[in-house]
Structure 1
Amino acid sequence: MAAEFSFADEYVGAPLPYDLPEAIPIEIADQIPIAAIATASLSDDIPVVDPIPVAKPPSTTSPTSVFENSIHDLSSELKNSSAATSDFTDSSFSSPDPDPDPDPDPDPDPDRDADRRVQKQHSCHRCSKGSRFTEKETCLVCNAKYCINCLLRAMGSMPEGRKCVSCIGSPVEDSKRERLGKSSRMLRRLLSSLEVEQVMRAERCCEANQLRPEDVCVNRKRLSPEEMVLLQSCPCPPQKLKPGYYWYDKVSGFWGKEGHKPDKIISPNLNVGGSLMRNASNGNTGILINGREITKVEMQMLKWARVQCAGNPHFWVNADGTYQEEGQKNIKGQIWSRATTKLLCSFLSLPVPSKGANPSGEEVNNMLNRNLPDYIEHRTLQKLLLTGFHGSGTSTIFKQAKFLYRSVPFSEEERESIKLIIQSNIYSYLCILLEGRERFEEESLAEKKKKQPHEPSGTDECDSVTVYSICPRLKAFSDWLLKVMASGNLEDIFPAATREYAPTVAELWKDPAIQATYNRRSELLLLPSVASYFLERVVDISRMEYEPSDMDILYADGITSSNGLTFTDFFFPPLPYEASGIDGADQQDTLLRYQLIGLHTKGLGENCKWLDMFEDIRVVIFCISLGDYDEYFEDASGITLNKMMESKRLFESMVTHETFDQVDFLLILNKYDILEQKIDRSPLTQCDWFDDYNPVSSRHRPNNDRNRNDGTTKAQQAFHYIAVKFKRLFATLTGRKLYVTSSNSLDSDSVDAALRYAREILKWEEERPSPNDFSSFEPTTLSP
C-alpha cells in the first residue's frame, strides 16, 4: 500500500511584514459554557426573521352556479408562490423598522400580484404555457387568456359567462359586447351542449353584462333603467348600442350620434331622453326639421325628394314621411313616396324607414305583446296562481285573460282542438240527460203503481207511459248511446260520427221527455249549467265547417292540459284614461310581465302535495262559485257532498300549506249572476256552514226588492255574508288579511277588474310599511 509524505522546510530569508497565523489549542474546562439568559431590556434588540407575505387566492364566490362543477383547490398557486421565496436566504435577519407603516395591507391586491408575474407573450395567464397557436379563451373583462386545462379553475362555474372569478360583477369590455352569447370551439369541447347553452344564456341575460343606462345619454339626458328597456325593446331599436351621446327625434324617429347626421330611423314617440336641441347634429344650413338644424347631406336629400328648401324653411316631419311647414295644417308631401329617394339615401348613407318601424306611433310605450330583453324578463315576471274547486269558473277566467291581454288568444291548432272538445261534450251532456230520464221514468211508474194498487198491471199500455217516455226509435238510439258510454268508447266514436247522428240528437233534444228531464237538472249532479247552450245549437255545431266563436270557447268545458296545469304570459294594457302618457311609476309598471297559472284540482295531488313547486307565486287567486251553496256532487266513494263545503275544505288546505305561508290570497266569489237568480227561491241556509244566515231587512219591501234602509239586494247581502265568513276563516287560520272581490266570469270587464285588483295587491305588498312603522294601511275589499 503506497503512502505519501510531506516534510516542512524551515524558512530562511528576510523577515515578513505581517504576523503568521498560529494554531492555538482550545482549553476545555470541566463543563461546556452556555449563553446567559437574555434580560427583558434586551428583548427588543433580538434579531427576528421577517415573514414574507404570500398572496391569497381571491375569495369571491359566484352568487349562482350555472352548472354543477367542482372547482379544484388553488393550492398549486400557493406552492408556486412559496417556491418564489427561495430567492431569499433562510439565514437573513432583519431588525424591525423603527418607524413602521401605521396601516399595513395584510391582503395585497391580487391584480397587483398578477402584474408582478412576468407573462410570456401569447401564453396562458395562469400556467404560463402555450404559444400563439394554442387555443385559449379570453375573459370578457380583463382580457386574460386561459388554456383548456386552466379555464375551469380560472372561471369557475361561470355564473356571468366567460369571466375570471375575480371579475364577476364587473362590466364587460365594450369591444367584446358582440361576443356575448356566442360560444367558442374550446368551450364546446370542454363542456356538454346543455352546459354550454346555460353558460351562454347566463352571459346574455346577466344584468352585469348589459349596457349600463347611465352610460347612454339621449338629448343630453342620461337614461333611466326603464327608459333603457323601453329603447331596447321597441319594434325598431337602435342596433349595436354603445356608450356615448346620442340625439333622438321623437316625432320622426331619426336617431344619430351627437354632432353627426342621422344614421338610423327607430320607433317614434318613445318617452326616452330629454328634448331635442337645435344643434344636435351640428348642422349649419338654417333649415329645421322638428326643431333640429339639418346637415348639408340631409338638405341635398330633401332637394332630390323635390322638397322646396328656399328661404330656410322650418318643417314638421312625421314618422310616415309626411311633412308640412311649421304653423301650417296642410300636408305638402311625403318624403319616402318615391323609390328613387330611398335609393339616393343609400348613396348618401342616410337611413330610410324600415318595415318594423311604427309609422302611426300608436302604443309604442305599451309593453303588451313586446319581446323584452332576456335579462329584464326574469326580473319582472310576476306569477299569479289561479285555482278553485271544479266548476268554480277558473277555466273561464283563464280564457278571458287570454282574450283580454293577448293579441292572438288561441292559435289555429288550439281552436281546432276546442272544436273537437265541444262536439264531443254534446254527447256527454246527452248521456247524462238520458240516464236521468230513465231514472225519472222508473220513479214516475213506481209512483203511478202506488196510486193504483188494486188494478192489475199491464192491462193498459197507457199505464207504462209517463211524461218521461220516448218513442221506440229514439229509445233504441238512447240505449245504444248509453251502452257506448258505459264501454268507454264514446271518445272513439265521437266527434268523428257527429255529423251522422246530428239530426237524431237534435230530435232527441227537442223531445218533451228530454225537456222535462232538463227541467229537473238540479237533480242531475254531473250535468253542467252550460249544457243547454250547446245542445240548443247541436245541428250547427255538428257541421264540418263549424268554427267555435269566442263565446263558444268561454262556455266550453274541459279545455285543460293532461296534468291540469296551464299558463299564459301577458301585460296589463293601460286603461283609456291612462293612454295619454306613461311616465314615472306608471312606466315601471309597464315593465312588469305577469304569468297567470291555471291549476285544476286534479293537478294538486293527494293532500295538495304538488303545491311545493309553486314557491315563487306572488298572489294566489282562489275562485268559489256563489251558486254552489245548494248544489251537490258524488265523490269517488259515492258519498253526496255539498260543493260549497268542498270548496271550503280545499280553501283551508291551500291557505294552511307551508308554501303559501307569506303569500297574499285573493278570493274571487264568482258567478254572482247565478246567485241573483237563485237567492229568491233557494235560501242560503241550505248549506250547513251558512245556517246562521239571517239578514236584517225591512218589513215593507219595495217593488224593486231592495232594502229601504241601505238599498242592498238579497244577492248583495248574501255576497257580503259569504265574504265575511271566508275572511274570518282566513284570519283564524293565518292571522292575515284576505282580499275579496266578486266576478262574473262571462263578463270580460268583471274579469279584468278582478285581475287588476290582484295587480294592486302586489303594489300594496311592495309599499307595505315595515313592522316598525306606527301604522299600516290596508285597502278595502271590492263589492259587487
Structure 2
Amino acid sequence: MGNCCPDKNTKQTNKKKKFEERGLINETLLESDFEESNKEPIRILLLGAGESGKTTFFKQMKLLQEDDFSQDEKLVYKTLIRKECVSAMNILILNAKRLNYNIEKIEEANLILNSKKTTPWSKEIGLALIALWKDDAIHQTFGCKNKKFHLGDSVGFFFNNLDDITQADYLPSNEDILRCRTTTISVDEADFQLENYNFKLIDVGGQRNERKKWSYCYDQISSVIFFVSLVGYSQVLFEDNATNRMEESLALFRDVVKSPYFIQSLIVVYLNKKDLFKNLINEVELSTCFPEYKGGSNYENAIEYIEEKFKNIGKPIQDGNKSDILTFPTCALDTEEIRDLTTLTLGKVINNDFYDLGLL
C-alpha cells in the first residue's frame, strides 16, 4: 500500500502548480498585490486537549471580524452560562458533602441538586445560586477545586456576577461569552480576512472522544496552532480524573509533530492561561508535575521551562527544516493581546507558504 500522505516535493510541486494556474508566480510576486489574488483561504487548524483555550480563541477571531456577537448568539450564551452556573454549583454541593463541609442553605442546595439539564431557568434557581455562593461551606469547597475535583476556570467569575446573571433582562457581555465553557463536539470553521489575505480557521473538539475527527481536517493545512493550558500541570483530565493535563498535552503534541501530514505546516504553540498560571505558580510548584524542575515559583523560569519542553519535542522532527516550533505565552481572554498575536502568527504563516514555494 502506498503512502497516504504526499511527500515534501510532491506537495511543493502541487502548490506551485496551483499558484501558477492562478497566475500568482512571477518575478515581482513579493512586491505585487498578492493579497488581492489570494482567493483560496489559508487553512489553519486549532488543536489541543480539552479546555486549553481553542474555542475561546475561535470566538476571539469572530469578534475581531465582527466587533460584537449577534443578539441571537447572546441569547444562546445566556442559557449556556446559566446552565454552567447550575452545573458548577451542583459539583460544589456534592463535593462539600464528600469533604464533610456543612452547608447551611439546605433547601437551596436540594433545589440545585434536583435541577436537571432540561430544567428551565427560574427566579428560584437564581436566588438559590446567590444564597449558596454566600455559604461558607461552598466557599471552602471552592478553595479545594483542582486539588480534590475539577471545576472550570471561569466558575468563580460567573458566581461573582450572579446578581447580573440572574436578572430577567440579562444579556451576556463579550467577556461573559468568551469565558463561557462550550465543548466543541463537531468541526467548526470560520472564514476571515487579515490584510487582504483569506484564512479559514478550523476548530475541533479536544476531548479524547472527539479526537478521532481530527484526521478529517488534515488536508492542506498551512499551520497548526496547538493550545496548552499552562495551569494544566496541577490538574487532571475531566475524562478520567487521573491523567495530568500537562502530561496529556505533551503526549498529544508529540503525536501532532510526528504526523506526516504536517511536514510542511508551521507549528505554533500557544501557552494559554498565563494570567492564571502567574498566580498558581506561587501556590503549586511546577515540580509537582516535573520533579526535575528547580526554578521554584519564579514565573519567567517556569514559562521558559515549559516552552523548552514543547520545543524539545519538535527538535528531532524539525532538525534541518526551515524553522523551529514557535511558542507564545498568552491569555485567550485578552482581546487586544490576541489581536496582536494573531497578526504576528498569521504573518509567519504567510511567510511559511512563501518559503514552501522557494520564494523566501
| TM-score of the pair, normalised by structure 2 | 0.82
Tell me the residue number matched to 2:82: 423
Tell me the residue number matched to 1:71: none
- Whole-angstrom distance in 2 between the partners of 1:395 and 1:769: 29
Q: CA deviation at 1:620?
A: 0.3
Per the alignment, do residues 722 and 546 of structure 1 end up closer, same or farther by CA in structure 2, a change over 3 Å counting?
Answer: same
Per the alignment, do residues 769 and 378 of structure 1 end up closer, same or farther by CA in structure 2, a change over 3 Å counting?
Answer: closer
What are the ranges of 5 or more consecutive residues in structure 1 without an aligned counterpart?
Answer: 1-205, 209-223, 231-375, 442-467, 485-489, 573-589, 698-712, 777-784
Whose helix fraction is larger, Structure 1's or Structure 2's?
2
Tell me the residue number matched to 1:592: 197
Please give the root-mean-square deviation of Cα atoms over the aligned residues, in Å. Answer: 2.9
Per the alignment, do residues 513 and 628 of structure 1 end up closer, same or farther by CA in structure 2, a change over 3 Å counting?
Answer: same
- Whole-angstrom distance in 2 between the partners of 1:670 and 1:743: 5
- Whole-angstrom distance in 1 between the partners of 2:261 and 2:209: 13
- Whole-angstrom distance in 2 between the partners of 1:634 and 1:743: 23
Q: CA deviation at 1:616?
A: 1.5
3-state DSSP of counterpart to 2:99: helix
- Whole-angstrom distance in 1 between the partners of 2:219 and 2:209: 14
The residue correspondences of 1:374-389 to structure 2 (distance < 5 A) are: 378-379=39-40, 381-389=41-49
Residue 752 in structure 1 maps to residue 339 in structure 2: yes
Q: Is the 8 A contact 1:400 1:554 kept in 2?
A: yes
Q: Is the 8 A contact 1:384 1:597 kept in 2?
A: yes
The residue correspondences of 1:239-250 to structure 2 (distance < 5 A) are: none
Which one of 158, 162, 178 corresponds to residue 538 of structure 1? 162
- Whole-angstrom distance in 2 between the partners of 1:616 and 1:418: 33
- Whole-angstrom distance in 2 between the partners of 1:508 and 1:647: 35
Deviations 1:84-140 (A, max 9, x none): xxxxxxxxxxxxxxxxxxxxxxxxxxxxxxxxxxxxxxxxxxxxxxxxxxxxxxxxx
- Whole-angstrom distance in 2 between the partners of 1:765 and 1:633: 34
- Whole-angstrom distance in 2 between the partners of 1:538 and 1:435: 20
Residue 469 in structure 1 maps to residue 74 in structure 2: no
Per the alignment, do residues 612 and 655 of structure 1 end up closer, same or farther by CA in structure 2, a change over 3 Å counting?
Answer: farther
Between the two structures, name the one with larger relative contact order (CA 8 Å, sep ≥ 6).
2
Tell me the residue number matched to 1:153: none
Deviations 1:317-338 (A, max 9, x none): xxxxxxxxxxxxxxxxxxxxxx
Q: Is the 8 A contact 1:619 1:758 kept in 2?
A: no
Percent identity reads 25
Per the alignment, do residues 505 and 595 of structure 1 end up closer, same or farther by CA in structure 2, a change over 3 Å counting?
Answer: same
Per the alignment, do residues 392 and 656 of structure 1 end up closer, same or farther by CA in structure 2, a change over 3 Å counting?
Answer: same
Tell me the residue number matched to 2:27: none
Q: CA deviation at 1:514?
A: 1.0
- Whole-angstrom distance in 1 between the partners of 2:217 and 2:330: 28
Tell me the residue number matched to 1:618: 222
Tell me the residue number matched to 1:715: 299
Tell me the residue number matched to 1:629: 233
3-state DSSP of counterpart to 1:420: helix
Which one of 518, 523, 539 corresponds to residue 142 of structure 2? 518
Q: CA deviation at 1:479?
A: 3.6
Deviations 1:195-231 (A, max 9, x none): xxxxxxxxxxx969xxxxxxxxxxxxxxx9849x97x
Deviations 1:301-358 (A, max 9, x none): xxxxxxxxxxxxxxxxxxxxxxxxxxxxxxxxxxxxxxxxxxxxxxxxxxxxxxxxxx
Residue 393 in structure 1 maps to residue 26 in structure 2: no
Tell me the residue number matched to 2:280: 678
The residue correspondences of 1:440-451 to structure 2 (distance < 5 A) are: 440-441=99-100
Q: CA deviation at 1:555?
A: 1.1
- Whole-angstrom distance in 1 between the partners of 2:169 and 2:149: 33
Residue 571 in structure 1 maps to residue 172 in structure 2: no
Deviations 1:423-444 (A, max 9, x none): 1111001001001100111xxx
| TM-score of the pair, normalised by structure 1 | 0.39
Which one of 538, 545, 550 corresponds to residue 174 of structure 2? 550
Deviations 1:451-478 (A, max 9, x none): xxxxxxxxxxxxxxxxx2123xx32442
Q: CA deviation at 1:733?
A: 4.2
- Whole-angstrom distance in 2 between the partners of 1:483 and 1:524: 23
3-state DSSP of counterpart to 2:66: coil
What are the ranges of 5 or more consecutive residues in structure 2 without an aligned counterpart?
Answer: 1-20, 24-30
Q: CA deviation at 1:408?
A: 4.9
- Amino acid in the other structure paired with 1:715: Y
Bigger CA drift: 670-679 or 546-555?
A: 670-679
3-state DSSP of counterpart to 1:597: strand
Q: CA deviation at 1:402?
A: 1.7
Q: Is the 8 A contact 1:656 1:734 kept in 2?
A: no
Per the alignment, do residues 627 and 525 of structure 1 end up closer, same or farther by CA in structure 2, a change over 3 Å counting?
Answer: same
Q: CA deviation at 1:618?
A: 0.6
Tell me the residue number matched to 2:294: 694
Q: Is the 8 A contact 2:229 2:273 kept in 1?
A: yes
- Whole-angstrom distance in 2 between the partners of 1:731 and 1:760: 22
Q: Is the 8 A contact 2:225 2:267 kept in 1?
A: yes
The residue correspondences of 1:43-192 to structure 2 (distance < 5 A) are: none
- Amino acid in the other structure paired with 1:613: C
Q: CA deviation at 1:770?
A: 8.6
